[in-house]
Amino acid sequence: MYLVTFMGNLLIILAITYDSHLHTPMYFFLSNLSFADIFFTSTTVPKMLMNIQTGTKIITYEGCLSQMYFSMLFAVLDNFLLAVMAYDRFVAICHPLNYMVILNPQLCGLLLLASWLLIVSVYYGTGFGVYLSSAATQNSRARATASVMYTVVTPMLNPFIYSLRNKDIKHALKQLFRCEAV
């Protein structure tokens, strides 16, 4: 599932970068969502795979904090990018004639920058989380299943949901593979 997530999101980024017809706000945000999904899964899954392979469940305190920090960072970034993409679709549907005027490159850059400014809030949020975390124990199997669903399955499905059903992306991927074959 990790390789499908990584490769699917990477193909989306390459297709959008390669095809100049896809250089629109919608695909700009979609490529950033794919970027965030790659890094979101890459913060936890490699360590999880190593733990499964070696049979150990050990992580250093520093490793745990950094893994939590980056997991939260990219999870929050995903959420903000999804909100920005919803706004993009709202403008496209409700104001189609003014779409390119409203979502000009400057506004797209500002929206992306605002999404990234969730670094600061995530940084402080992790500090509060460490101090406010509950010592209550839960079923570790249920927690692990929920973690896998959130950190692996959702980012794996994003390329299929947001782009592989899209004829423009399919066309760009075909062109990308044709170019690579030559």
Looking at residue 132, its pLDDT comes to: 53
pLDDT tens figures, 121-154: 554 554 455 445 444 445 566 556 656 666 677 7
pLDDT band at 171 (very low <50, low <70, confident <90, very high): confident
Average pLDDT over all residues of the chain: 78
| CA torsion through residues 140, 145, 150, 155, sign | positive
Looking at residue 68, its pLDDT comes to: 86
pLDDT tens figures, 79-114: 888 888 889 989 999 998 988 888 888 888 888 777
Mean pLDDT of 16-37: 88
Q: Is 104 helix (H, G, I), strand (E, B) or coil?
A: coil
Looking at residue 135, its pLDDT comes to: 43
Task: Decide: 19 and 172 in contact? Cβ < 8 Å.
Answer: yes
Task: Decide: 53 and 136 in contact? Cβ < 8 Å.
Answer: no
Looking at residue 64, its pLDDT comes to: 86
Express as a percent the part of the chain with pLDDT over 70.
75
Residue of higher predicted confidence among 9 and 160: 9
Contacts of 95 (CB under 8 A, 6+ apart): 102
**Cα 58–Cα 9–Cα 54 angle in degrees, nearest 5:** 20
pLDDT band at 118 (very low <50, low <70, confident <90, very high): low
Whether residue 175 is predicted with pLDDT greater than 50 in this model: the reply is yes
Structural domains in the chain, sorted by start: 2-181 (1.20.1070.10)
Mean pLDDT of 59-81: 86
Is the pTM here over 0.85, yes or no?
no
Measured between alpha carbons, how far is 152 from 149 in angstroms, rounded to an integer? 6
Name the phi and psi angles at 117, rounded to 5: -65, 20
Mean pLDDT of 148-165: 69
Looking at residue 131, its pLDDT comes to: 46
